[in-house]
Chains A and B, each alone.
Chain A
Amino acid sequence: QVQLQESGPGLVKPSQTLSLTCSVSGASISSGDDYWNWIRQHPGKGLEWIGYIHHTGSTDYNPSLRSRVTISGDTSKNQFSLKVSSVTAADTAVYYCARAIMTAVTTLESWGQGTLVIVSS
């Protein structure tokens, strides 16, 4: 069973960089057809896909965030990370990491529990 766990600061100051890590167990981020995603949910709102990374190092990002977002992987630790630069209050959200299986179908089939990040001075 694949498990994902987000970690990182719960409070970030405006204009700084938000950094989160997702630790994966039960699957390897360095192989397979899986894509490793970040998704966020603003308080009381819907879900927003941020982007993903494949084990080849290939990434894709939501154009609305592309200029501020970087997703990277650390295969030695079986972790992947999210950085969002120049944050504002609008980046306050619960951030989820998730595994996408992209074969004949594409599903976000495993999720972390989510971590709340508040942007405030």
Chain B
Amino acid sequence: DIQMTQSPSSLSASVGDRVTITCQASQDIRYYLNWYQQKPGKAPKLLIYDASNLEIGVPSRFSGSGSGTDFTLTISSLQPEDIATYHCQQYDNLPWTFGQGTKVESK
């Protein structure tokens, strides 16, 4: 299985801060990586697909980059509604695997 490692596991940030989350794959997954946002008690919601493509309706303050083994999710200016846990997911190989999640909290 491809292991996905996110860092940090959690972070505290203030409204307006730039937030960066990284995701590292245990092998080359090209650009076959998605990012999901999960709010407490809710199902995950697709944010970014193919490493850098914003899903329709997702605010432009979210962006993704990377290829191969190293990927980044950036929130350019954190908003209160962005408080959530973020998950990366690879789909280069089955079984699809996820990172352990990064919890973004309000400072």
**CA–CA, A64 to B95, complex, Å?**
9
Please pick, from B32, B34, B87, the residue contacting A46 in the complex, using a CB distance under 8 A: B87
Q: When A45-B100, A47-B89, A106-B32 are in contact, do A111 and B95 touch as well, CB less than 8 Å? A: no
**CA–CA, A78 to B55, complex, Å?**
27
B36 contacts A108, C-beta separation under 8 Å: yes
**CA–CA, A96 to B44, complex, Å?**
9
**CA–CA, A115 to B97, complex, Å?**
20
B99 contacts A96, C-beta separation under 8 Å: no
- Chain B residues, CB < 8 A from A61: 95
**CA–CA, A49 to B98, complex, Å?**
8
- Chain A residues, CB < 8 A from B1: 63-64
Q: Does B107 belong to the interface (CB within 8 Å)? A: no
**CA–CA, A113 to B43, complex, Å?**
5
Nearest-CB distance from A108 to chain B (Å)? Answer: 7
Q: Does B101 belong to the interface (CB within 8 Å)? A: yes
Please pick, from A49, A62, A106, A111, the residue contacting B43 in the complex, using a CB distance under 8 A: A111
| Interface mask (A64-92 → B, CB under 8 Å = 1, otherwise 0) | 10000000000000000000000000000
List 8 other contacts, CB 8 Å, given A47-B89, A64-B95: A46-B87, A49-B95, A96-B43, A107-B46, A107-B55, A108-B46, A111-B45, A112-B43
Please name the 8 residue pairs, one residue from A and one from B, whose CB atoms are nearest each other, closest first. A111-B43, A46-B100, A47-B98, A62-B95, A49-B96, A106-B91, A107-B49, A46-B101
